[in-house]
Amino acid sequence: MTNDATTMKLGDIAEIRLGYPFRGAIPEVLGGSIRVIQIRDVTRVGLNNCDDFVATEVEGRKEPDWVLDQDVLFVARGAHAYSALVTKPPARTVCSQHIYVIRVKAPDSLLPAFLAWQLNQAPAQRYLRQSAEGSHQLSIRRTVLELTEIRIPPITQQRAAVNLARVAEAECGAFQALIKNRERELAILAARLLT
């Protein structure tokens, strides 16, 4: 792989906004028409089960900024800052105010999946940790996120990195399943031999 990548600030190549500004706890509304993505719903590899998103309603004249397919969510509060790519979210979905929604301006030159992956890698994580506020409960300000340096290699290299990351994640899942299966086998053996 050649190293003919350009480096840009995240704020120059993507729109960054905070999630919907709920005041206090998110009011759960049975049968609500709006879904809310909270920190607990986001992992480094994507979103948890969309059926578990809180349903609610929001008031106001202005239509909320909906989360769209290929948006990158960045969790800005907690012990770790991390990002995840959104794929096919439910219609009428917003994020809580502790999550940044990052929308790549030119996805033909910077794959959103590559951006999400890069934000989780050591160079970006080191910068974000050093720039975070707080000691136990880290918080990343928008200006800090906007100034994050993003490397933009050729699109073929971006695709290769994303594909390799997906393969690695699938392998991790397979290994975890094998470990759980072996633990079950040992528990059954222990129950037979030791009781």
pLDDT tens profile 138-156: 789 999 999 999 999 999 9
Query: How far lies 20's CA from each of 38, 58, 87, 97, 163, in Å?
Result: 11, 9, 19, 5, 32
Reported as a single tens digit per residue, the pLDDT across 31-70 is 889 999 999 999 888 888 888 899 999 887 788 999 999 9
pLDDT-based confidence at residue 3 (cuts at 50, 70, 90)? low
Give Cα separations from 189 to 21, 165, 179, 184, 186 (angstroms). Answer: 53, 36, 15, 9, 5
CATH class of 6-194: alpha beta
SS3 (DSSP) at 163: helix
Residue 174 pLDDT: 82
Selected residue with higher pLDDT from 171 and 34:
34
Between CA 127 and CA 94 the distance in angstroms is: 27
Q: What is the pLDDT of residues 79-110, one digit of tens each?
A: 778 999 999 999 999 999 989 999 999 999 99
